[in-house]
Amino acid sequence: MKKTLKKFALIAGLVATIGGTAVASAAVQYPGGGVWTYGAANGGAYSNYYHSGRYHSSTVVSRWTGASSKGYAQAGQTSRAWISTKLGEQAAFYYNY
């Protein structure tokens, strides 16, 4: 199985609070013929990857605490990883196939 690893970090922090409202930060990319979404929402950080033809995974890791989550999925399904984060906490995001 060919493995490809990509890493992205949100340097400015994951969630900003404006007037008491949490603002989500998200990105979408299309690596290796799949769809990768990652970012911050609902008090946490997530990395989700869909690929129609390969077994794959997605990972999110806190840059502050090292807490991590890794999700796996068969071809045609979405791998999902999520961790709880604090305001301004930074995270690294990965996909692998």
> Does domain 5-96 correspond to CATH entry 2.60.40.2850?
yes
pTM, two decimals, is: 0.76
* 86 pLDDT above the threshold of 90: yes
pLDDT at position 25? 83
Residue 95 has pLDDT above 50, yes or no: yes
Average pLDDT over residues 62-74: 98
**Which of 23, 30, 67, 75 lies closest to 51 in space, CA to CA?**
75
Looking at residue 80, the DSSP 8-state letter turns out to be E
Q: What are the residue boundaries of the structural domains of the chain, listed by start? A: 5-96
Q: How confident is the model over 67-75, as a mean pLDDT?
A: 99
Residue 87: per-residue pLDDT = 92
Place 80 in a pLDDT band, splitting at 50, 70 and 90: very high
Contact, 57 vs 49, CB < 8 A?
Answer: yes
Conformation bin of residue 19: beta by default, left when phi > 0, alpha when psi is -120 to 50: left
